[in-house]
Amino acid sequence: MKQYLIHFYQQHLQQLRNEISAYKNEADLWIVAPGISNSGGNLCCHLVGNLNHFIGTGLGNTGYQRNRDLEFSIKDVPQAELLHNIDATIIMIE
């Protein structure tokens, strides 16, 4: 079961990485379209924060300090930094 969950999270984080990489214009990561609550960039920050909090801190005792409000309010994080954070989360999952 443990290996299944590791694979599951890593597979879906790789899918998130592919989606974030698909933005050709970094500014588009932070656009909130009508009828949508959050930008792609903020959702990425939220998913990474959530996994680092619940799996990293909760199961792995990583000491990660989550700032949930910031996950939804931060703007203009460079695409490269978002991708780095996803990669670090993929590694943390192991």
- Separation CA 52–CA 39 (nearest Å): 20
**pLDDT tens digits for 4-36?**
999 999 999 999 999 999 999 999 999 999 999
- Give the span between the Cα atoms of 50 and 9, in whole angstroms: 12
Nearest to 44 by CA among 81, 11, 10, 8: 81
Place of tokens 């969950």: 5
- The domain segmentation of the chain, as residue ranges, is 2-93
Q: Encoding tokens for residue 79?
A: 């695409």
For the segment 37-46, what is each residue's pLDDT rounded down to a tens digit? 999 999 999 9
Residue 34's CB is within 10 A of a number of other CB atoms, namely 4
* Predicted TM-score of the model (pTM): 0.94
For residues 51 and 25, the answer to whether their CB atoms sit within 8 Å is no
